[in-house]
């Protein structure tokens, strides 16, 4: 993570929260989401991890159970998973879970997908636990493309998809007729950013030393109408919530997504409500 100087801005940008499920109580996630619903926060996201081991936490909460509980007690804020690991989640099962959220929170559900952990990354241990070999970059990008195509086919009520990895045949009665939710690709490399441009409604890029180079390439590309660029940032301790870094406003980012700790940041969210 690179150091930044955070300054209040006059730019217009949606600010979202991503809630960490690591070592959290479900009641804490629900409480902070309810508080966010009373602010100008655009969306509340939950990470997709089943183990807290890689960050030194004793557990991790299931994202769809968390989002269901959040959706039931909120009225305005969007909800979504950031991002579903397509290596571990078949599109049919993912679509069923997301569509169930749509039934609970109509027109408020967003879907983030990602290609899974890269070899050598801290989240690779989840693949080891499931005895799933880590894929090469080329394999992960191909699986991401095929997974998005399958998701689109499911919401279009197509009975079959030819993918040998994430396809299906004779499929019916999975989703209820709701429109496919906005689909965002979580990306850290240009190869996955290209997948987002080609197939998705937006891209979410984690802040790294390459961020502004990637944003410049994005803005130089021919983006689809309505394509949304968001940046995921780790919140610096003591930084007030609701303040957007100046560099992201200047770079023309559409959404600022900041990590929030359900156990530690409820008071800071409630302070947003009172401002």
pLDDT digit string, tens, across residues 195-224: 999 999 999 999 999 999 999 999 999 999
Residue 275 pLDDT? 58
Check residues 3 and 76 and name the one with the higher pLDDT. Answer: 76
In percent, how much of the chain has pLDDT > 90? 81
pLDDT at 1 over 90: no
pLDDT at 8 over 70: no
Alpha-carbon span 260 to 158, nearest angstrom: 38
Are 118 and 87 within 8 A, CB to CB? no
| 87 contacts: CB under 8 Å, gap ≥ 6 | 115, 116, 117, 127, 132, 135, 140, 143
Assign domain 14-274 one CATH number from 3.20.20.30, 2.40.50.140, 3.40.50.720, 3.90.1210.10.
3.20.20.30
Q: What's the whole-number mean pLDDT along residues 94-112?
A: 99
Candidate from 12-21, 156-165, 168-177, 265-274 with smallest mean pLDDT: 265-274
Are 81 and 183 within 8 A, CB to CB? no
pLDDT at 60 over 90: yes
Are 77 and 44 within 8 A, CB to CB? yes
User: Which pLDDT band, with edges at 50, 70 and 90, does 12 fall under?
Assistant: low
Cα torsion at 198, 64, 127, 262 (round to 10°)? 100
pTM: 0.92
Q: Which long-range contacts (CB under 8 A, 24 or more apart) does 168-174 make?
A: 168/91, 168/92, 171/92, 174/92, 174/95, 174/96, 174/99
User: Which pLDDT band, with edges at 50, 70 and 90, does 54 fall under?
Assistant: confident
Are 222 and 241 within 8 A, CB to CB? no
Residue 5 pLDDT? 37
In percent, how much of the chain has pLDDT > 70? 95
- Exposure string over 258-273, b if 16+ CB within 10 A, otherwise e: bebbbeebbebbbebe
Alpha-carbon span 26 to 66, nearest angstrom: 6
Q: What's the whole-number mean pLDDT along residues 9-25?
A: 83
pLDDT at 258 over 90: yes
């Amino acid at each position: 993570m690179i150091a930044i100087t955070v300054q209040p801005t006059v730019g217009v940008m949606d600010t979202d929260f991503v809630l960490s499920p690591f070592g959290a109580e479900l009641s804490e996630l629900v409480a902070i989401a309810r508080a966010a619903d009373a602010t100008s926060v655009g969306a509340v996201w939950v990470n997709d991890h089943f183990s807290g081991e890689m960050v030194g936490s004793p557990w991790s909460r299931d994202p769809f159970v968390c989002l269901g509980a959040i959706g039931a007690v909120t009225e305005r804020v969007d909800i979504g998973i950031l991002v579903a690991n397509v290596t571990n989640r078949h599109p049919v099962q993912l679509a069923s879970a997301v569509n169930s959220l749509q039934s609970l929170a109509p027109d408020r559900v967003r879907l983030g997908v990602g290609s899974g952990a890269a070899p050598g990354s801290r989240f690779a241990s989840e693949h080891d636990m499931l005895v799933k070999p880590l894929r090469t970059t080329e394999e992960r990008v191909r699986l991401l493309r095929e997974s998005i195509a399958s998701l689109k086919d499911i919401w279009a009520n197509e009975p079959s998809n030819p993918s040998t990895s994430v396809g299906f045949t004779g499929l019916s009665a999975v989703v209820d007729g709701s429109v496919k939710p906005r689909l965002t690709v979580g990306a850290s490399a240009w190869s996955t950013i290209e997948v987002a441009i080609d197939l998705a409604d937006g891209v979410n890029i984690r802040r790294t030393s390459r961020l502004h180079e990637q944003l410049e390439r994005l803005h130089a590309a021919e983006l689809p109408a309505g394509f949304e660029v968001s940046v995921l940032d780790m919140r610096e301790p003591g930084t007030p919530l609701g303040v957007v870094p100046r560099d992201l406003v200047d770079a023309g980012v559409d959404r600022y997504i900041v990590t929030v700790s359900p156990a530690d940041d409820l008071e800071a969210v409630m302070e947003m409500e009172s401002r």
